[in-house]
Structure 1
Amino acid sequence: MFTIAQETPDDWWEVESLYDLCFAPGREALSSYRLRDDVPPIAGLSLVARGTDGSIAGAIRHWPVRICTEDGICNRSLLLGPVAVHPTHQGEGLGGLLIYQTLGGARALGWERVMLVGDAPYYNRFGFQKLEGVLMPPPTNPDRVLGVALKPNAWAGVRGQVSRWSPDMALPQN
């Protein structure tokens, strides 16, 4: 049994410790982290799951990014990640629960698309597919750049370089 709640500032260090436990050393050197630098995660889409003992069993965050063509046309997207489940709770469906809950929340907030860098065999079950023409900063393997449409055809025609969120881009209105 888990209690799922919004991540609060008081959860930050415990969540970061979970990410350190679940991911390889140097995780913050990945290009996806450069897209998150000095950009706050989306309110309502950063969740923690606590076990019956009160410790964090899982966590997920979403960040705004933009995908811009060479001629300057930009589309907004969410960047899912990281999502992590404590090793003692892996295989219990908690990661999937967090993903489904936040995808529904993103849709309710007016977001049209979500992307991530991850393993297709795991994320395909949530509707994520390889994105053609959407380029993450190097050194990202293009086969691991995946996306899911929250509205029909939301990825149609979206191509270009993924870059940091720009304050001049409005967040979706729900």
Structure 2
Amino acid sequence: MTAFASATAFADAVPFAAIVEETAAHVPAREALLDAAMGPGRTRKSSEAIRAGRLPAEGLAFSAMRPDGSLVGTVRLWNITAGSKDGATVPALLLGPLAVAPDTQGTGLGSLLMRHAIAEAAAHGHGAIILVGDPEYYARFGFLAEKTAGLAMPGPFEPRRLVALELVEGALDGAQGVIAPTGRFALEETAAVGLAA
């Protein structure tokens, strides 16, 4: 198993913001930040088709908050299957979207969010993280296209931009097929809350 730094190891890396677990109160500001950072076309991406109607993986949605309570960054991870091997599905996580407020770009906040998300995913016992993004940027975190050679996204995608990081060595070896969502549906969570009330 590959060693990953504790998520708390990065706590002082960006002094103007703290990374916390996302709450429902963060969601409106998160959506506004994503609209500003990625534009209106963000909901038409293949990754969004996997996330639509689902909840992030348990304990793996994070917000970067300023001391005044304003949200300046976000990252989420989602439960998926990374195709299958030997007749069994391969569990993994899909990371994204990752975004920071325009006035914090170049401060290291995006890297801090990535490292925090990776460390937390490892701490939760997950085997691999997949994302669609700039391979040159994500290579610094250990993400490689070689790990996704047998995988595809539902809908159009650029194969070179489909990259993965194994948290457990060999987790994606031999995985082939289309990436699919496996996480909880948002409506199931809403119904569970209603029944508990």
TM-aligned CA deviation for residue 52 of structure 1:
3.2
TM-aligned CA deviation for residue 164 of structure 1:
1.9
TM-score (norm: length of structure 2): 0.80
Matched, 1:15 2:38: no
Would you say how many aligned residue pairs link Structure 1 and Structure 2? 167
Tell me the residue number matched to 2:107. 92
In 1, Cα distance between equivalents of 2:170 and 2:86 = 22
Tell me the residue number matched to 1:149. 166
Tell me the residue number matched to 2:140. 125
TM-aligned CA deviation for residue 166 of structure 1:
6.3
Tell me the residue number matched to 1:77. 92
- Name which one, 1 or 2, has greater alpha-carbon Rg: 2
| Structure 1 unmatched ranges of 5 or more | 168-174
Q: Which has the higher contact order (CA 8 A, sep 6+)?
A: 2
TM-aligned CA deviation for residue 149 of structure 1:
0.4
| Structure 2 unmatched ranges of 5 or more | 1-15, 185-197
Matched, 1:163 2:163: no
Amino acid at match of 1:86: A
Matched, 1:61 2:76: yes
TM-score (norm: length of structure 1): 0.90
RMSD: 1.6
Tell me the residue number matched to 1:108. 123
Which has more helix, going by share of residues?
Answer: 2
Q: Secondary structure at the match of 2:170?
A: coil
Write the deviation string for residues 92-129 of structure 1: whole angstroms up to 9, x where unpaired: 11111111111111111110000000000100000000
* Contact 2:150/2:174 (8 A) holds in 1: no
